[in-house]
Amino acid sequence: MKRNVRFVLLLMKLKLSRMMMFRVSFFGAFIADGTMFIIQLLAFEAIYSQVDAIGGWNRGQMIIFVGTFAVVNALNMLIYFFGVNDIPEKIKRGDLDGYITKPVSPLLRVTFENVNPGSVPLLIFSAGIVCYGVSAAGINISFMTGLLYVLLVLLMTLLWYDMELILRSIPFLVLSANGIVQLEEQLIEMNFKIPGILYKGGFKVVFYFILPYGIMSTTPTQMLSGLLTASGFLHAVVITAFFTAFAIGFWRYGLRHYKSTGS
Amino acid sequence: MKKYAEVFRVSFKMQIVWRFDVVMTMAAAAARAIAGWIVWRVIFLGKESVGGFTQDAMLTYYLISSILRSIDFSHHISGEVSYLIRSGRFSGHMVTPVNPLGFFSFMSAGMSAFHLLFSVTAAALCAFAMGINLSFTRDIARILPAAVMIPLGLTFTASFQYLIGVATFKFLEIGFFMYVQWSIIAFVTGSMVPLSLLPSAVLAVLRFIPFTHVIYTPAMLLTGQASAREGLFGLAVLAAWTLMMMPAAHYTYNRLRKKYDGVGI
């Protein structure tokens, strides 16, 4: 464990050194994603200028929803996105050879080798959106609620990681996952605009159980708003545990089918 | 003109190869329409109209805007031009007797033309599955300006994205700038929410920028939410911007191309 932590810290140090060579791009993720979340807030502001609530959620709760999505996205960009995102290309080019033959977990290295410190400002900015939402909703938050919210945000970050890992491990079996990654982008964009509480019927089954993007921002928002039931909390924990186990199992299964050749 | 027609034809045919992209275009059009349907269906519960829209008019607006957004491939232009310049592969476009702006515009037009049918099909299937009563205008005075604005809007965005792409000659890394402008454009074209929901002062300013008339105004005209006069005004604004943007893009290219070293970075 201690060895792994030292290894992760070394990877972070190396990445930071590389990033300092391209200083203008250092804050690229912050500027690009920050703009996207501001635009989404403006879109909801336009809707809330006409109505008081959407599906029972007031303006403040919707701001928390956007902010929470931004926080999970920022953690994703900060920690693992740029590493996991490269998996299909590494499989295609046979670059995983260098990972398998090293005395360290290939998944650990792939996950943490491209941490992006440039996303720290995005994380702070996103937390600011959540605070603004809490203020706009007029919610009083107890220490325990805040703690459970942070726990849920971390769980949802893990769930997002699981989904990314599963989708990007598919090329172990089919070589190209470009289409699947495009599909993932569409699903994330859609779920970024729709709070999970608005899903009914088949959509709820799909986005709560099969492709659980629908709970990623909704559940923490419900927690902060005092609307999350015990079964909702349990659902988030069980879904995350299931998808984490599945993602690791699928990665190992894929690795056994890795052909170790460029194509 | 013959060579550009050939670029259009080849680009059109090339799309057949990328079948999954076609599926993704349909999925994107459907996803936007479904997202609009899920959100606005809830908002309209117990309400006759919101922001001057009936539920059918709002959902029709979303269907039209999702089609128009899914056939706009101009964002590929800035990405590809930027990539070609940075990799040193833009040289091919400099030595062939084809204007690069024309080449990329017609390439994008070929993609749009191919995907149009599939996007319309996806939207029609969504409308059928979601039981939307489509609310189109039959007023020819509104349909005509909208029909002209759609290709004109695509021409404008192609020129604009080309201008962004050639900025790579000077700035080399414009990746995050491209993302920023895509997000802003998605909003000001009205593809996220109808711009009429914004404060009237904001809308008064937006009327004079071209992006508003790429998706928002044609969709408003086709749903009968905007007057023919507003359509003609939008058409005039869009035409004026397009006439300015094309020479501006051409001039910028001629000016910045001297900085190109042709070896990539």
Res A19 pLDDT > 80: no
Structural domain boundaries, residue A187: 2-256
Mutation target vs A (from B62, B126, B172, B180; most A CBs, 10 A cutoff):
B180
Please state the rounded mean pLDDT for residues A83-92: 88
Cα–Cα nearest to A210, from A166, A248, A255, A144:
A166
Q: Is the pLDDT of residue A24 over 90?
A: no
Residues in chain B within 8 Å Cβ distance of A199: 38
**Interstrand relation of B53-54 and B49-50 (parallel, antiparallel or unpaired):** antiparallel
Q: How many domains does chain A have?
A: 1
pTM of the predicted structure, to 2 decimals: 0.86
pLDDT of residue A214: 94
**What pLDDT does B1 receive?**
79
The confidence score (pLDDT) of residue A22 equals: 59
Return the pLDDT at A15.
74
Q: Is A50 helix (H, G, I), strand (E, B) or coil?
A: coil
* Residue contact A22–B173, C-beta within 8 A: yes
Q: Which two tokens stand for residue B122?
A: 């996806």
Q: Report CB contact under 8 Å: B35, A193.
A: yes
Kindly determine whether residue A189 and residue B199, on different chains, have CB atoms separated by under 8 Å.
Answer: no
User: What are the pLDDT digits (tens) for A88-138?
Assistant: 888 888 888 888 888 888 999 899 888 888 888 899 999 999 999 999 999
The answer to the question of residue A262 being in a domain is no
Spell out the residues 6+ positions from residue B259 whose beta carbon is closer than 8 angstroms to its own.
Answer: B169, B170
Q: Flag whether A91 is in a domain.
A: yes
Helices (H), A170-229: 171-174, 178-193, 201-205, 218-225
Distances in Å between the alpha carbon of A118 and those of A32, A36, A68, A255, B159?
11, 16, 19, 31, 32
Provide the number of CB pairs (under 8 Å) joining chain A to chain B.
85
Give the list of residues 6+ apart from residue B110 with CB closer than 8 angstroms, or none: B7, B8, B9, B10, B11, B12, B14, B15
Residue A104, min C-alpha distance to chain B (Å):
33
Share of chain B above pLDDT 90, in %: 62
Q: Following DSSP, what letter does each residue of B12-37 receive, concatenated?
A: HHHHHH-HHHHHHHHHHHHHHHHHHH
B164, B172 Cβ separation under 8 angstroms: no
Residue-level pLDDT at B47: 85
Q: Residue B173 is nearest to which of A25, A27, A193, comparing CB atoms?
A: A25
Compute the nearest-CA separation of A194 from chain B (Å).
Answer: 7
CA distance B262 to B27: 38
Q: What is chain B's Cα-based Rg?
A: 19
**Residue A29 and residue B47: Cβ atoms within 8 Å?**
no
- Reply yes or no on whether the pLDDT at B194 is more than 90: yes
Judged by CB atoms closer than 8 Å, whether chains meet at A51 and B47 is answered as yes
Is B193's CB within 8 Å of A43's CB? Answer: yes
Enumerate chain A positions whose Cβ falls within 8 A of a Cβ in B: 22, 24-25, 27-29, 31-33, 35-36, 39-40, 42-43, 46-47, 49-51, 54-55, 178-179, 182-183, 186-187, 189-190, 193-194, 198-199, 203
**A6: confidence class by pLDDT, cuts 50, 70, 90:** confident
Q: Is residue A207 part of a domain?
A: yes
CB distance A43–B173 less than 8 Å? no
Question: CA-CA-CA-CA torsion for A19, A23, A24, A26, nearest 10 degrees?
Answer: 40
Please give the span between the terminal C-alpha atoms of chain A, in angstroms, as a whole number: 35
Q: In this complex, do A35 and B183 lie within 8 Å of one another by their Cβ atoms?
A: yes
pLDDT in tens, B104-162: 999 999 999 998 988 899 999 999 998 888 889 999 999 999 999 999 999 999 999 99
Tell which of A25, A57, A198 to mutate to test the B interface (max B CBs under 10 Å): A198
Q: How confident is the model at residue A71 (pLDDT cuts 50, 70, 90)?
A: very high
Identity of the residue in B20, B21, B39 whose CB atom sits nearest the CB atom of A194: B39
- Residue A213 resides in a domain: yes
CA dist., res. B239 & res. B244, Å (int)? 9
pLDDT of res. A89: 84
Looking at chain B, which residue has its C-alpha nearest residue A203?
A: B38
What is the nearest CA distance from A39 to chain B, expressed in angstroms? 7
Report the residue of B32, B34, B42, B177 to disrupt the A interface, i.e. the one with the largest count of A CBs within 10 Å.
B42
User: Using one digit for the tens of pLDDT, what is the confidence trace for B15-32?
Assistant: 887 777 788 778 888 888
Residues B135/B62, Cβ–Cβ less than 8 Å: no
Q: Is residue A261 part of a domain?
A: no
Asked if the Cβ–Cβ distance from B39 to A198 is below 8 Å, we say yes
Query: What pLDDT is attached to residue B14?
Result: 85
Choose the closest CB to A39 out of B50, B176, B184.
B184
| B-interface mutation test, from A19, A42, A208, most B Cβ less than 10 A away | A42
- The answer to the question of residue A234 being in a domain is yes
- Residue A115 resides in a domain: yes
Classify residue A156: in a domain, yes or no: yes
What CA–CA distance (Å, rounded) separates B39 from B36? 5
pLDDT band at residue A80 under the 50/70/90 scheme:
very high
Q: What is the pLDDT of residues B32-46, one digit of tens each?
A: 888 889 999 899 988
Q: Which residue of A has its CA nearest to B42?
A: A55
Give the pLDDT confidence score for residue A97 in this predicted structure.
87
Contact state of A47 with B186 under an 8 Å Cβ cutoff: no
What was the pLDDT predicted at A21? 63
Q: Which residues of A touch B175 (CB under 8 A)?
A: 25, 28
Complex ipTM value: 0.84
A184 contacts on B by Cβ (under 8 Å)? none
pLDDT tens digits along A180-224: 777 788 888 888 889 999 999 899 999 999 999 999 999 999 999
